[in-house]
Every structure is written in C-alpha cells, then in structure tokens.
Structure 1
Amino acid sequence: MTRREQGTAYGALWVLAVAFGWIEASVVAYLREIHAAELSLQGPSDLPGLQVTLLSLPGHLVSLEMAREVCTVVLLVAVSWLAGRRPADRAGAFLLSFGVWDLAYYGVLRLLVGWPDSLSAWDILFLIPLPWVAPVWAPITVAALLILAGSYLFWTSERERHYRWVDIGALAVSVLMTIAAFLFGSRTVMDHRVPERFPAWLFWAGVVLGTAWFLRVEGRAARQTGARKRWLGVRVRTTMPEQRTDTMQGAVTPAREVPGAHVRVDPDPVIREYTETRRRLDRLVEDARELGERLERLGHGLFGHPARMIVGPPDPFIEDQNEWDIVPSHPLPSIDRLVALTNDIRGMSARVEELRERLILMGRADIVEQPDGFFH
C-alpha cells in the first residue's frame, strides 16, 4: 500500500482501539454498578482494591466473561489482518491496537468512575487460563511498549526480516516471564484476598529481555536492508563552489567534451531537466508500485478461483469485469499498459543516468551514496 493508505490505516487503528477501549471500560463500569449491591449484602470483602471482583460472579457468568475476552482478542486480530498487507504490518497493527485499547480502557475508566486512583492499584487483567492480577503500572508499561513496537513494525513492513529460532525462543521466554509475573497472585485472588506483593523482578526481567532482543533483531534487519539498498546517486549543486580544488577543476574542464557539445554548456537547463526527469521517474515507479499492490491483493482475492484470469481479455469465469480487482470500478490495466509502463521506467532511468553524468562532468554534481530513495 502507498504511504497515504498506510497513514489512513494507522489512524483508523487508533480510532478503533480508543473506541473499543471506551466500550470495554463501559462494560466494567456496568458490572461494578450492578454487583456493588450484591457484594455489600455479602458482608465486608477482602478485595476492596480490585476494580471488579469477577470471581464473585456465578460460574456461568465467569465463563461468559472469559468468552468475551477471547472475542476481544479475535476482533483485534481480524482488524489487524485487514489493516495490513504483509506479516510485519499485520503484527504491528495487532500490537498497536492492543496497546492503545488497553491504555484507552484505563483512561476512560478513570474518567467514568475515578479508578484507578493510583498506579499501584491492583487490577484483574484477564481470566484465561487463571486470573491475571497486577498493579496498574505493569499493564500500562506493557501497553506503551506494544504501541511503540507495533508502530515501528507497521511503518517498516517492507523491510525483510528473518527471525531465527533463537530469536523466537528468546522472545517467547520474555513473554512467558511477563505472563508468569501476572499469574503469580492468581491463587490469592481466587481465595478472595488481595495479593501482598507483585514479582516486579520477574516482570522487569521479561520486559527487558523482550525489548532488548526485539531491538537486536530489528537492528540486524535494518543493517541488512541498508546494505542491500546502497547505490550511487548525485547531489546537484545550484551554484559553483567559491574555491575549486584540483579535482573539481578537472571535473569542470571535460564539460567541453560532452558529446555533441563544442562550447561550454549552460548548466541551469540541465539541472532543471534532471530535476523534472527525476520527479517523473519517481511518479512512474510509484505507479508501478501501486499496480504491484493491486496485483498482490487480486492474487489473495482470487486464491480460491485459480481458473480466473488476472489480466487480458474477458474471461468466461468472470461475469462482472469489476471482479478483476477487489477495488470496485477500478479494473486492472492491460498487458500493453504494463509493458508500456516498464519501457517508460527504463527510458526515464536511462535519461536520468545520462543527465547525471553530464552534471558530474560539468562540476555541478557530487557522487554520493544514497541508502534510501532514488536520486537526490
């Protein structure tokens, strides 16, 4: 997808997660209000610090709450799948939406009922497979890290990543350590008592291990991607430097030897043509990238119908021509259009290369290494 589409999807994930966090907080507020009278009739409770003592509910309602938690995760997974095109941006979308949802939940709950009154307040996080219980600062910390990691994965989804078994193992261990810290006081809560302590050492060990290993893997992927994308570009100077070195003087002199030129060429028209040609090349490449995305989406959409054609003349298996692409009323281009686009890119690239060489010979360009993008 294009950067604009990616930005739209990113913003939509935030909107959905905040809205769903509000819904989640509203449900908790309802439960708290409905069962407040029942809990008061049962006498003093040893769990005054917990927002909702779900374990005091009848068994079938606890099962219903567990099913609701599963549905919440399924919903976030489905939305994340629709928001992305690659495994990386889908994983990033899930981490992002989960983190925003969790933070929005606590923020709205504070707004509605004035809880949590402090970051050290205890809360029941999940019920599967046992109650997860921790001070509020712990899930908030995890949610913030999920937002950062998810945003990074979402915006760098085109980067090739290779997670080795040792990477998967280290990240899995960090997740299990963090979950173990949340489950540490589950038995105490099931006995209707407030946990006396939270194993912060275990929690932070899992968080630090996971964060450090994630940075290690992503740093390795960034270095590998940068090494593959290095090429030579040019940096165009609009004015000649005041002090010329011998090297630069030699670069200017051959300007008379440009093929077809018998007098010194005015560099300004060449610079303007180079800039315009480069922009046209970038637009052509962007068009090709968008077509590639559409072909990729079409491949996914027609996976169950291998007899259907992707491009070319109408196919008897496709009654509606709009079914060629998942975007209504935007049929795919013909083979001739794809060939013409390829030829245009080749021709424009050759022209950019020619103008670049002329600018270098005229002393109006420096050869520089460009790790990202095309020519600058």
Structure 2
Amino acid sequence: MQVKKLRWVGLFAIAMAYLESAVVVYLRRMYDLGDDLTKIPNFDRTITGIEIGREVATMVMLLTLGWIAGRRLQSRVAFAFFTFGVWDIFYYVWLWVFIGWPASPLTWDILFLVPVPWWGPVISPVLIASLMVAGGIVAIWVDDREWQIHPSKADWAMLFAGMGLALIAFMWDALGNLPLSPDEFDSIKPSSFPWGIYLPGLLLMVVAVWRVTWVSPRQKVKIQA
C-alpha cells in the first residue's frame, strides 16, 4: 500500500521545510530584515543568483522524492504534489516557531524569485499547498485500488486556467515592470493582492483536482463494473 509511504514522505518534507525556514532566518539576521517582506532585500548579484539556484534545487529535491516514492506516473505525480504541499505549509509553521512570523495569515511574503518575484499573503500559497496535499493523498489512495486517473480535456483546461490565474496574481506587480533583470528585483514592490484574479483561479483548481482524483476514477470503475 503506497498510502503507508505518506508518513515517511511527509516526514522528509517537514524536515526539508525546517532547513528552508532556517536559511530564511539566517538571511534575515545577516541582512537585518524586518517583518515587512513587501520589498526584496538589496542582495548583490552573486547572492541573488545563489538564492535563485537554491530555490530551484529545493524544488528538484522535493519533486524527485515524489517521483521515487510512486510506482507509476499517476502516483509519482501525486507524491510530488503531496511532498511540495507539506513542505510549503510547514515552512511557515517552522518560521512561526523560530521567530513568531508570520503574524497573521494575511502577512505578505516573497514567495519565489523564479523567473520573476512572486508576492502574496501567506494564506494564498498555503491554500494551494493544502489542495496539493489533499489531492495527492486521494490520488495515491485511488492508485492503490488500481483505478486509472485520466484527466479530460475540460479537466486540463480548468487546471491550467486556474494555475495561470494564480501565477498572474502572484506575479502581478512584477509582470507590470517587465522586462526585469535580477539586478532590478529590489526596485519593485507589491501594491495590493489581486484577490479577484486569485480566488477564481483557486476555485478552478479545486474543481479540477476534485474531478480528476475522485469523480472521474469512480465513474470509470462503475462503468467497468
């Protein structure tokens, strides 16, 4: 049963989140950063490049573990989603344990620097991470029962549309300042979060994940029966 692997994969993701949050604590101390993360620190070019590389390396490590844990494509993708979601949630949990940040779910955070800076209230990535965890668990449970997951064209359309809207919301201010080089990252600052773009995107992703991991596999089983 692949479901039994979830505890160990989850433990790895929680430990990775500890490392990630520890690095952030170090950076805050080194650069004397406060709780206002609406402005990107004025890193030199070398540090900016290393930080971008660290983010990419973290994603590769998390997704690679998910790929190793699964037995075929659908469960590998599910484990990768689960791992990323747990890591993202516990990243904020550990930061709160270490330094009492974020003060609230609506506290702003710099989410990523690849390919341009992403910003958003903490609750916004946590909601998506929670969806990834829930969807990953259900998909792994489905795979254990030898049910096939075959997203329809409509499912793919909803999923990618939702992801696109969420990405636009996170990169809203950076996109308005393109073209942008890493040297110019510290010159932009978010204004207000576009909830009107983010929430429809989140809803589309929720519906798509629900259809793909639960509705569609069960319908196919009933038809075959």
TM-score computed with the length of structure 2 as normaliser:
0.88
Task: Show the counterpart of 2:155.
Answer: 167
Q: 1:57 aligns with which of 15, 35, 43?
A: 43
CA distance in 2, matches of 1:21, 1:215: 27
| CA deviations over 1:86-117 (Å, ceiling 9, x no partner) | 11111111111111001110000011111111
Whether the 8 Å CA contact 1:49–1:194 is kept in 2: the answer is no
Whether the 8 Å CA contact 2:163–2:205 is kept in 1: the answer is yes
Gaps of 5+ in 1: 40-46, 231-376
Q: 1:16 aligns with which of 12, 17, 20?
A: 12
Moved runs in structure 1, 4+ residues, more than 6 A? Answer: none
Task: Show the counterpart of 2:181.
Answer: none
Task: Show the counterpart of 1:113.
Answer: 99
User: How is 1:124-163 mapped onto 2 (pairs within 5 angstroms)?
Assistant: 124-157=110-143, 158-163=146-151
Whether the 8 Å CA contact 2:20–2:91 is kept in 1: the answer is yes
CA distance in 1, matches of 2:187, 2:105: 21
Matched residue SS, 2:165: helix
Whether the 8 Å CA contact 2:173–2:188 is kept in 1: the answer is no
Whether the 8 Å CA contact 1:177–1:202 is kept in 2: the answer is yes
Aligned partner of 1:179: which letter? L
Task: Show the counterpart of 1:205.
Answer: 200
Matched residue SS, 1:185: helix
Aligned partner of 2:37: which letter? L
Task: Show the counterpart of 1:258.
Answer: none
Whether the 8 Å CA contact 1:25–1:106 is kept in 2: the answer is yes
Structure with greater helix percent: 2
Whether the 8 Å CA contact 1:93–1:150 is kept in 2: the answer is yes
Matched residue SS, 1:156: helix
| CA deviations over 1:35-80 (Å, ceiling 9, x no partner) | 11xx6xxxxxxx85118x5541001111111111111111112101
User: How is 1:90-105 mapped onto 2 (pairs within 5 angstroms)?
Assistant: 90-105=76-91
Whether the 8 Å CA contact 1:185–1:198 is kept in 2: the answer is no
Structure 1 residue 144: Cα displacement: 0.9
Whether the 8 Å CA contact 1:55–1:62 is kept in 2: the answer is no
Structure 1 residue 7: Cα displacement: 3.6
Structure 1 residue 167: Cα displacement: 2.4
Whether the 8 Å CA contact 2:40–2:186 is kept in 1: the answer is no
Larger Rg belongs to: 1
CA distance in 1, matches of 2:16, 2:35: 27
Task: Show the counterpart of 1:227.
Answer: 223
Whether the 8 Å CA contact 1:54–1:62 is kept in 2: the answer is no
CA distance in 1, matches of 2:36, 2:54: 23
CA distance in 2, matches of 1:216, 1:15: 28
Identity within the alignment, %: 31
| CA deviations over 1:195-246 (Å, ceiling 9, x no partner) | 2310001111111011112223330221111332x3xxxxxxxxxxxxxxxx
Q: What is the number of residues matched between the two proteins?
A: 215
Task: Show the counterpart of 1:75.
Answer: 61
Task: Show the counterpart of 1:89.
Answer: 75
Q: 2:109 aligns with which of 123, 127, 145?
A: 123
Matched residue SS, 2:120: strand
Task: Show the counterpart of 1:259.
Answer: none
CA distance in 2, matches of 1:111, 1:48: 15
TM-score computed with the length of structure 1 as normaliser:
0.54
Over the aligned positions, Cα root-mean-square deviation in angstroms equals 2.0
Aligned partner of 1:207: which letter? L
* Structure 1 stretch displaced more, 91-100 or 214-223: 214-223
**RCO higher in structure (CA 8 A, sep ≥6):** 2
CA distance in 2, matches of 1:95, 1:191: 31
Aligned partner of 1:220: which letter? S
CA distance in 2, matches of 1:177, 1:135: 16
